[in-house]
Amino acid sequence: MTFETPATRRVLVARPRGYCAGVDRAVQAVEKALELYGAPVYVRKQIVHNTHVVRTLEKRGAIFVEETEEVPEGAIVVFSAHGVSPAVHREAAERGLRTIDATCPLVTKVHNEARRFASQDYDILLIGHEGHEEVEGTAGEAPDHIRLVDGLGAVDTVEVKDPDRLVWLSQTTLSVDETTETVTRLKERFPNLIDPPSDDICYATQNRQVAVKEIAAEAQLVIVVGSQNSSNSKRLVEVALDHGADASHLVDDASFIRDEWLDGVTTVGVTSGASVPEDLVDGVLAHLAERGFADVEEVESVQESVRFALPHELRKDLRAGV
């Protein structure tokens, strides 16, 4: 197949993109557990929402399960970056499982806020997506106090105990703009609604959205590398469409790109979600280069230097040379 290659064809690559500190830590936790204790290491749910990462870890000896009851008694189980509810910790303890908790510290922060506000008898409006693992984990911290607000449509229907003792929290991977709008509408309905002490939408989600806005303003097409179940990746597609891109698609890897998407396009934007390894972006850039998009420019919007230490259970065994 031959492709037209006008000199004007270019690619703008957003920075920051790809792995965040929480994903890096969670993936390393499984890798280190496999090195330290040997296969199999069980992982409850996808360690991060990326099919390539999951398949790679499976090849190395990780076994992914949906629930702890599928893990043999006494085995090692890693909890994913999205966090788990206290009930899951209890079940694991009852079954004598050795747990490694790879919950992102920024998700743990939201859990702590939920517990604190619940202990002060606040109702908590949790803005997030129903059924998402992170939302289930956070809601499980204070089931009697948390009311889920899934999108703007839920603002008018959510019921609360006391409108004067109300706080909102959110999932860490939402659209910043959409969440701001949801909070504005909630405050119109509940004027005494209070804000959380700090942003729940994490630095990585925010930074990737800032970066995609910058490239979307100049690109007709924005390709977001990420899996369909990755919340932060899906938000990047929405943000790109809201900020100037004519089209935007979420792809697991280069093989999902359709040539017709490139018809008449001179500038393609590329970014990736927080759970996406960089080699998948490299594959997309190589695929585009073969189609005449060889002029690649990286557009840096924000510098990132956040890193998290490995889960304490692993650090202890690594120090002890287990």
113 noted as active-site residue? no
- In the region spanning residues 101 to 120, those forming contacts with ligand SF4, defined by CB under 6 A, are 104, 106-107
Tell me the C-alpha distance between 238 and 227, whole Å: 14
The piece of 16-24, 150-158, 279-287, 292-300 that touches ligand SF4 (CB under 6 A) is 16-24
Pairing of strands 10-15, 295-300: parallel
Pairing of strands 10-15, 62-65: unpaired
What character string, x for contact with ligand SF4 (CB under 6 A) and - otherwise, covers 183-212? -------------------x-xx-------
Residues 141/118, Cβ–Cβ less than 8 Å: yes
Is residue 22 within the footprint of ligand SF4 (CB under 6 A)?
yes
Determine what percent of the chain falls in helix, strand and coil, rounding each to the nearest 5.
40, 20, 40
* DSSP symbol at 49: S
Is residue 173 within the footprint of ligand SF4 (CB under 6 A)?
yes
Is residue 81 within the footprint of ligand SF4 (CB under 6 A)?
yes
Tell me the C-alpha distance between 173 and 286, whole Å: 29
Q: Which residue is nearest to ligand SF4 (CB)?
A: 22
Tokens of 297: 């420019």
The piece of 100-108, 123-131, 179-187, 283-291 that touches ligand SF4 (CB under 6 A) is 100-108
The reply to whether 198 sits in an annotated binding site is no
Residues 262/4, Cβ–Cβ less than 8 Å: no
The contact set with ligand SF4 (CB under 6 A) reads 20-23, 81, 104, 106-107, 172-173, 202, 204-205, 232, 274
User: Which residues are identified as catalytic?
Assistant: 134
Residues tagged in the binding site annotation: 20, 49, 82, 104, 132, 172, 202, 230-232, 275
